[in-house]
Amino acid sequence: MAEPIPPHLVVLTGAGISAESGIQTFRADDGLWADHPIEEVATPEAWRRDPGRVLAFYNARRDQVRRARPNAAHQALAALEKAGLRVSIVTQNIDDLHERAGSRRVLHLHGEILKARSTVDRRMHYPLPRGGIELGDVCDKGSQLRPDVVWFGEAVPHFGEACDLVAEADLLLVVGTSLAVMPAASLLHHAPLDAPCVLVDPEAEALAPPGVTRLARPAGEGVPALVRHWKREGRLWMPEALLA
Using the rule CB under 6 A, give the single segment among 17-25, 59-67, 75-83, 114-122 that binds ligand APR.
Answer: 17-25
Using the rule CB under 6 A, give the single segment among 20-28, 58-66, 131-139, 236-244 that binds ligand APR.
Answer: 20-28
185 three-state secondary structure: helix
Separation CA 69–CA 79 (nearest Å): 16
Considering the rule CB under 6 A, would residue 62 count as an interface residue with ligand APR? no
Separation CA 109–CA 156 (nearest Å): 6
50 three-state secondary structure: coil
Identity of the amino acid at 205:
E
Q: Which of 110, 189, 190, 229 is catalytic?
A: 110
7, 51, 132, 202: which one binds ligand APR (CB under 6 A): 202
Catalytic annotation present for 110: yes
Number of shown-chain residues binding ligand APR (CB under 6 A) = 22
For the chain, what is the largest distance between any 2 Cα atoms, rounded to a whole number of angstroms? 63
CB of 127 to ligand APR, least distance (A): 23
Using the rule CB under 6 A, give the single segment among 24-32, 47-55, 122-130, 139-147 that binds ligand APR.
Answer: 24-32
Residues paired with 147 in a beta bridge: 116
100 burial via Cβ count (<10 Å: 0-12, 13-18, 19+): middle
Separation CA 2–CA 178 (nearest Å): 41
19, 101, 212, 227: which one binds ligand APR (CB under 6 A): 19
Considering the rule CB under 6 A, would residue 176 count as an interface residue with ligand APR? yes
Using the rule CB under 6 A, give the single segment among 16-24, 62-70, 121-129, 187-195 that binds ligand APR.
Answer: 16-24
CB of 112 to ligand APR, least distance (A): 12
Separation CA 111–CA 93 (nearest Å): 8
Task: Please state the length of the chain.
Answer: 244
Which H or E run contains 47?
helix 44-49
Give catalytic residue positions.
Answer: 110
Sites of contact with ligand APR (CB under 6 A): 14-16, 19-20, 25-27, 31, 92, 110, 176-178, 180-181, 201-203, 207, 218-219
